């Protein structure tokens, strides 16, 4: 017997084997769909009339129903039976897609169920009963869909679910279950900051539209994510750690405020502070902030207060757009971000009060621990001086490193090593690592080696003792590892990457990795994060002393070559349309990195940012200007305006010595931009005028200067900006630079739109569009569509405006530009509102709020539009 299977999703159909009968939008088909929807239940003739023909059936409606029933019985014999005063379908419900859907949901097979519900229920029947059934089923379908999302979240599909849940959240902005799922998906994708921002969007929407607070479940999820997103910046706890019981007790008992741990280099200040911080972390559930200020490292390696504040603000998920440009404003914002939060702040290796004052929160719930070789005295601070390890603690620390059995076997040798290491933890760590690498040697022999070194006679001179221990450990290194250690003392920044270390030594990356491993086993370098290497500043000073005159200059040149040439590669990937500077061939042995994405390029630039800043004054003129060039766009977009200005001042001074007109002109443009960002408009104008004069006879160079001058004009000088842009366009046309022409036309379209001259805006945007399309330039086309939308909206053509903004938003999305995508959605909402399409306007504005929130931009203006539309 052939089984007949029925569908009611979409049009009604019956399939028997390979044969399918599709009833289409016919009345018999609608009648069959009504009976199939309630399979097994008797439906009266009156109910059939109402369900199929609506509330106002035509005359002879029952006769029409009888006719259709007859046709159906002829087509599908034995399916429909008369029962009393009504009719019933006698079929296994699981042969009907609607009932199979429900069975699959009940048995936990939601993925299969959702595949069945591919179309609208009874889509060809439009009566009040059918509309109500569809509405009722929409709730079932949503519940199944959300249940399936829960299962996928439990299975770890967080990243894959984010786009689907974003779309669903846009459709159902007040649905707290959907909000919770999107928040979970974002958090599981490593985007906890976005998840927390979405919670704030939902909370604000519930308050505005319903006057309600988030549910208990959503609030609990928010608390859990807050805890998960709290910064956990502490470095790894030192292992082993022994002793310091009195100091640990004092740290435990110190009131919340500021504690300053002071002591000589190598005495274990950082180890004590980090060990205690890990032990006390539960007291600070809102996070632990850490920065190594490198106050006693090489010149240029110290972390500025402004850079440290920016790191803390980023760790606290403060949107970059909210961060002021001045240090005082940034410090105030940090205090606001820490208000009412129980946070531990560890400021390691501080040099003076000026370096730490802007970082001190002065809030009653934030506890600050500072380590320094200097007796710093911030207001109301508790001082904790740290002396040498007590003898028993020193012996225990060494035993923990070399093995307690070995230590017990040679107690006299342990005492000798402890004495010759002056009970300094750093010296004991290095000596212990040396002993641990040679377990077959008697410890007494290693102790004798320490005694035989040309130590710096005075036993009370801890620096001399440290250098003796360092010398002892270095003698055990392979010649290649010792050479690399010497060269690491030349690092200009606080740390170095693997490729940088390889370039420094003129080795391939594999060789450098192996040698760094040898140095790490000897406790002479640390790898605080994968691929980044550093060492204690006393070790670095000692390494620099060992460096030989013949190798210093060549090694440093190779490292700076690596930074400059890899920086150029990062710069051209990060900003693809920039003019690539001419670069020299790398010196032999230099590793030049390559980047596949903008994200990779930016990550390298910001990781190496402190090293690049320290290296700028030490490079050749070519190296310095290339390092300044690669930093210009990244520092500008990351709002690091002080470093932007410093880098461009150094780059300009360097490139002026080269006699390269094009390079100098481009650097002056960057300098003009950085001076403008620093609030020095007159000096900015001077730099740009100088660049313009420098490019005399070079129309493309002068045109680029003019476009930059226009870009820096404030809104009350749009007319002046347009004049500069027109001149730039003429020069680009003169030299046939099509990319420059398209940029200038885009600027003209934007400027005329700002002035309300919409016909001109459309004309210039259309000209730009043709050129951007010919170049297949995605962002250029997106900007052209945006300007077209502004023009059409101003001219009253709302349909064309909506189409243009829709296209621009999609292109900005593909380009990954959240702020510009948000702006396009906001203007799309404006176009819909002007056309009287209130709901479409609301959806576009809600999307704009979401995007601006994700980008860390204020959204009050868009929220005001939503409020006004209510």
Let me know whether 215 and 252 are in one domain: no
How many residues in the chain? Answer: 870
Tell me the C-alpha distance between 218 and 132, whole Å: 31
Residues sharing a CB contact under 8 Å with residue 654, sequence separation 6 or more, in sequence order: 619, 621, 622, 624, 625, 628
Q: Give the CA angle between residues 512, 513, 517 to the nearest 5°.
A: 115
Residues sharing a CB contact under 8 Å with residue 227, sequence separation 6 or more, in sequence order: 285
Domain membership flag for residue 727: no
Each as own residue / partner, the long-range contacts of residues 413-420 (CB below 8 Å, 24 or more positions apart, any chain) are 413/442, 413/443, 413/444, 413/446, 413/447, 414/443, 416/444, 416/447, 416/450, 416/451, 417/443, 417/446, 417/447, 417/450, 418/391, 418/394, 420/447, 420/450, 420/451, 420/455, 420/465, 420/468, 420/469
pLDDT band, residue 298 (cuts 50/70/90):
low
73 has pLDDT over 90: no
| CB contact at 8 A, 705 and 690 | no
pLDDT band, residue 384 (cuts 50/70/90):
very high
pLDDT band, residue 585 (cuts 50/70/90):
very high
Domain membership flag for residue 552: no
Least confident of 52-61, 364-373, 454-463: 454-463
Domain membership flag for residue 799: no
Let me know whether 659 and 611 are in one domain: yes
pLDDT band, residue 648 (cuts 50/70/90):
very high
Domain membership flag for residue 820: no
Domain membership flag for residue 361: yes
- pLDDT of 817: 65
Q: Which of 130, 106, 115 is nearest to 38 (CA)?
A: 130
Let me know whether 250 and 292 are in one domain: yes
Domain span including residue 618: 571-684
Tell me the C-alpha distance between 51 and 45, whole Å: 10
Measure CA 78 to chain center: 64
Report percent pLDDT > 90 for the chain: 29
Residues sharing a CB contact under 8 Å with residue 789, sequence separation 6 or more, in sequence order: 800, 801, 802, 804, 805, 808, 824, 827, 828, 831
Each as own residue / partner, the long-range contacts of residues 321-324 (CB below 8 Å, 24 or more positions apart, any chain) are 321/855, 321/856, 321/857, 321/858, 322/856, 322/858, 323/639
Q: Which of 200, 154, 193 is nearest to 179 (CA)?
A: 200
Report percent pLDDT > 70 for the chain: 95
Higher pLDDT, 433 or 275: 275
Tell me the C-alpha distance between 418 and 275, whole Å: 22
Residues sharing a CB contact under 8 Å with residue 691, sequence separation 6 or more, in sequence order: 664, 665, 668, 669, 672, 701, 705
- pLDDT of 454: 37
SS3 584: coil
Query: What's 258's domain CATH number?
Result: 3.40.50.300
Domain membership flag for residue 752: no
245 has pLDDT over 60: yes
Let me know whether 406 and 457 are in one domain: yes
Query: What's 204's domain CATH number?
Result: 1.25.40.10
Quick one: average pLDDT of 591-615?
89
- pLDDT of 470: 78
Quick one: average pLDDT of 202-218?
87
pTM to 2 decimal places: 0.63
Beta strands at 343-350 and 288-292: parallel, antiparallel or unpaired: parallel
508 has pLDDT over 90: yes
Quick one: average pLDDT of 665-669?
91
- pLDDT of 671: 93
453 has pLDDT over 50: no
Quick one: average pLDDT of 701-711?
86
| CB contact at 8 A, 692 and 659 | no
109-140 tens-digit pLDDT: 888 888 888 888 888 888 899 899 988 898 88
Query: What's 535's domain CATH number?
Result: 1.10.10.10
CB atoms within 10 A of CB 161: 20
Let me know whether 515 and 489 are in one domain: yes
Quick one: average pLDDT of 313-338?
82
Let me know whether 335 and 440 are in one domain: no
CA distances from 699 to 694, 741, 771 (A): 11, 12, 20
Residues sharing a CB contact under 8 Å with residue 115, sequence separation 6 or more, in sequence order: none
Sign, Cα dihedral of 603, 607, 609, 611: negative
Residues sharing a CB contact under 8 Å with residue 860, sequence separation 6 or more, in sequence order: none
String of DSSP letters for 723-750? HHHHHHHHHHHHHT-HHHHHHHHHHHHH
- pLDDT of 294: 85
Domain membership flag for residue 237: no
Q: Can you read off the two tokens belonging to residue 277?
A: 């911080």
String of DSSP letters for 585-603? PPPTT------SSHHHHHH
Higher pLDDT, 316 or 800: 800
pLDDT band, residue 460 (cuts 50/70/90):
very low
Tell me the C-alpha distance between 257 and 369, whole Å: 8
Domain membership flag for residue 868: no
625 has pLDDT over 50: yes
- pLDDT of 761: 93
Residues sharing a CB contact under 8 Å with residue 737, sequence separation 6 or more, in sequence order: 700, 703
251 has pLDDT over 60: yes
Least confident of 552-566, 612-626, 630-644: 630-644
Please tell me the total count of domains within the chain. Answer: 6
Tell me the C-alpha distance between 654 and 624, whole Å: 6
The residue behind tokens 């040149």 is 557
- Which of 649, 684, 719 is the last residue before a domain boundary? 684
Taking the CA atoms of the chain, what radius of gyration do you get in angstroms? Answer: 36
Q: Can you read off the two tokens belonging to residue 643?
A: 């470093």
- pLDDT of 650: 95
SS3 497: strand
* Strand partners of residue 259: 369, 382
| CB contact at 8 A, 269 and 262 | yes
The residue behind tokens 């509330």 is 55
748 has pLDDT over 90: yes
Mean pLDDT for the chain?
Answer: 86
Tell me the C-alpha distance between 610 and 3, whole Å: 74
- pLDDT of 455: 38
Q: Which of 414, 375, 413 is nearest to 392 (CA)?
A: 414
Sheet containing strand 496-497, edge to edge, reads 496-497, 532-534, 526-529
Looking from the CA of 504 toward its CB, the CA atoms found within 13 Å total 27
String of DSSP letters for 43-79? EEHHHHHHHHH-SSPPTTHHHHHHHHHHHHHHHSTTS
CB atoms within 10 A of CB 232: 12
806-848 tens-digit pLDDT: 999 888 877 656 778 888 999 999 999 998 888 888 888 888 8
Let me know whether 629 and 678 are in one domain: yes
Cis ω on the peptide bond leading into residue 495 (within 30° of 0)? Answer: no
398-409 tens-digit pLDDT: 888 888 888 888
538-566 tens-digit pLDDT: 788 888 888 887 788 899 999 999 999 99
Tell me the C-alpha distance between 483 and 507, whole Å: 11
Least confident of 37-51, 429-443, 519-533: 429-443
Let me know whether 352 and 299 are in one domain: yes
138-194 tens-digit pLDDT: 888 888 888 888 888 888 888 888 888 888 888 888 889 999 999 888 888 777 778
Let me know whether 188 and 64 are in one domain: no
Quick one: average pLDDT of 275-281?
92
| CB contact at 8 A, 443 and 413 | yes
Residues sharing a CB contact under 8 Å with residue 716, sequence separation 6 or more, in sequence order: none
Beta strands at 496-497 and 526-529: parallel, antiparallel or unpaired: unpaired
The H-or-E segment that residue 33 falls in is: helix 27-37
778 has pLDDT over 90: no
- pLDDT of 512: 93
| CB contact at 8 A, 274 and 235 | yes
pLDDT band, residue 686 (cuts 50/70/90):
very high
Rounded to 5 degrees, φ, ψ at 289 are -105, 140
Task: Mark residue 737 as left, alpha or beta (left: phi above 0; alpha: psi -120 to 50; beta: remaining).
Answer: beta
- pLDDT of 459: 42
- pLDDT of 810: 86
Let me know whether 470 and 370 are in one domain: no
Let me know whether 613 and 668 are in one domain: yes
**DSSP classification of residue 322:** G
Q: Can you read off the two tokens belonging to residue 213?
A: 């607070």
Q: Which of 828, 853, 857, 823 is nearest to 843 (CA)?
A: 828
Sheet containing strand 86-89, edge to edge, reads 43-44, 86-89, 80-83
Sheet containing strand 13-16, edge to edge, reads 4-7, 13-16, 19-22
The residue behind tokens 């010759």 is 420
Let me know whether 33 and 107 are in one domain: yes
328 has pLDDT over 80: yes
Residues sharing a CB contact under 8 Å with residue 484, sequence separation 6 or more, in sequence order: 501, 504, 505, 507, 512, 515, 516, 519
């Amino acid at each position: 017997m052939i089984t007949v299977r029925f569908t009611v999703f979409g049009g009604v159909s019956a399939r028997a084997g390979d044969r399918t009968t599709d009833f289409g939008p016919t009345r018999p088909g609608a009648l069959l769909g009504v009976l199939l929807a309630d399979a097994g239940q008797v439906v009266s003739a009156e109910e059939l009339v109402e369900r199929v023909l609506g509330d106002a059936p035509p005359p002879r409606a029952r006769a029409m129903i009888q006719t259709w029933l007859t046709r159906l019985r002829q087509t599908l014999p034995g399916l429909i039976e008369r029962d009393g005063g009504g009719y019933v379908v006698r079929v296994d419900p699981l042969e009907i897609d609607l009932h199979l859907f429900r069975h699959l949901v009940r048995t936990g097979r939601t993925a299969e169920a959702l595949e069945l519900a591919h179309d609208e229920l009874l889509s060809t029947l439009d009566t009040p009963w059918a509309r109500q059934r569809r509405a009722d089923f929409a709730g079932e379908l949503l519940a199944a869909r959300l249940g399936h999302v829960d299962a996928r979240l439990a299975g770890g599909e967080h990243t894959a679910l984010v786009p689907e849940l974003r779309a669903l959240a846009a459709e159902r902005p007040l649905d707290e279950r959907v909000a919770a799922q999107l928040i979970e998906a974002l958090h599981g994708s490593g985007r906890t900051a976005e998840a927390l921002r979405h919670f704030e969007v939902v909370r604000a929407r519930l308050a505005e539209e319903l006057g309600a607070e988030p549910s208990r479940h959503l609030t609990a999820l928010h608390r859990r994510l807050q805890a998960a997103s709290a910064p956990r910046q502490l470095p790894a706890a030192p292992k082993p750690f022994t002793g310091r019981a009195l100091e640990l007790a004092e740290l435990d008992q110190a009131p919340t405020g500021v504690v300053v741990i002071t002591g000589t280099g190598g005495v274990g200040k950082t180890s004590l502070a980090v060990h205690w911080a890990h032990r006390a972390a539960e007291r600070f559930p809102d996070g632990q902030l850490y920065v190594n200020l490198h106050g006693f490292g090489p010149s240029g390696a110290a972390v500025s207060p402004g850079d440290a504040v920016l790191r803390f603000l980023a760790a606290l998920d403060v949107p970059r757009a909210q961060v002021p440009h001045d240090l005082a404003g940034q410090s105030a914002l940090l205090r606001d971000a820490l208000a009412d939060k129980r946070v531990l702040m560890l400021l390691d290796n501080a040099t003076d009060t000026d370096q730490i004052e802007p970082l001190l929160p002065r809030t009653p719930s934030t506890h600050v621990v500072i380590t320094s070789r200097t007796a710093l005295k911030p207001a109301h601070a508790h001082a904790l001086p740290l002396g040498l390890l007590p003898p028993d603690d020193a012996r225990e620390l060494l035993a923990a490193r070399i093995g307690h059995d070995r230590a017990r076997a040679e107690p006299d040798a342990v005492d000798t090593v402890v004495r010759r290491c002056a009970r300094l933890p750093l010296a004991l760590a290095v000596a212990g690592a040396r002993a641990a690498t040679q377990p077959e040697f008697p410890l007494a022999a290693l102790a004798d080696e320490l005694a035989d070194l040309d130590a710096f006679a005075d036993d009370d001179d801890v620096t001399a003792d440290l250098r003796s221990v360092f010398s002892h450990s270095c003698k055990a290194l392979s010649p290649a590892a010792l050479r690399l250690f010497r060269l690491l003392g030349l690092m200009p920044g606080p740390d170095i990457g693997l490729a940088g270390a390889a370039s420094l030594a003129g080795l391939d990356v594999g060789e450098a990795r192996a040698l760094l491993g040898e140095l790490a086993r000897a406790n002479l370098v640390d790898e605080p994060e994968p691929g980044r290497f550093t060492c204690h500043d006393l070790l670095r000073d000692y390494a620099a002393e060992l460096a030989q005159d013949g190798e210093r200059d060549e090694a440093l040149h190779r490292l700076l070559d690596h930074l400059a040439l890899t920086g150029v590669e990062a710069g051209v990937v990060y900003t693809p349309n920039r003019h690539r500077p001419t670069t020299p061939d790398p010196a032999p042995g230099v590793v030049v990195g390559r980047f596949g994405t903008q994200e990779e390029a930016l990550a390298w630039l910001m990781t190496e940012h402190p090293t690049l800043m320290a290296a700028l004054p030490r490079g050749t003129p070519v190296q310095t200007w290339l390092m300044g060039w690669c930093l210009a766009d990244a520092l500008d977009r990351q709002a690091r305006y002080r470093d932007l200005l410093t880098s461009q001042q150094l780059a300009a001074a360097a490139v002026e010595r080269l006699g390269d007109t094009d390079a100098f002109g481009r650097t002056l443009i960057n300098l003009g931009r950085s001076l403008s960002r620093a609030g020095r408009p007159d000096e900015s104008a001077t730099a740009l005028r100088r660049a313009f004069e420098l490019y005399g006879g070079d129309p493309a160079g002068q045109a680029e200067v003019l476009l930059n001058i226009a870009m820096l004009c404030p809104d009350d000088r749009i007319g002046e900006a347009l004049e500069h842009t027109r001149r730039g366009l003429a020069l680009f046309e003169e030299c046939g630079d099509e990319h420059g022409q398209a940029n200038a036309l885009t600027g003209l379209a934007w400027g005329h739109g700002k002035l309300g001259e919409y016909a001109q805006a459309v004309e210039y945007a259309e000209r730009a569009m043709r050129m951007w399309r010919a170049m297949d330039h995605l962002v250029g086309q997106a900007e052209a569509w945006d300007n077209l939308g502004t023009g059409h909206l101003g001219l009253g053509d709302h349909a064309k405006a909506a189409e243009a903004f829709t296209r621009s938003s999609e292109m900005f999305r593909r380009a990954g530009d959240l702020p510009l995508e948000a702006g396009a959605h906001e203007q799309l909402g404006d176009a819909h509102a002007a056309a009287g399409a209130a709901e479409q306007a609301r959806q576009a504005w809600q999307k704009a709020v979401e995007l601006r929130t994700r980008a860390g931009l204020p959204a009050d203006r868009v929220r005001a539009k939503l409020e006004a539309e209510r």
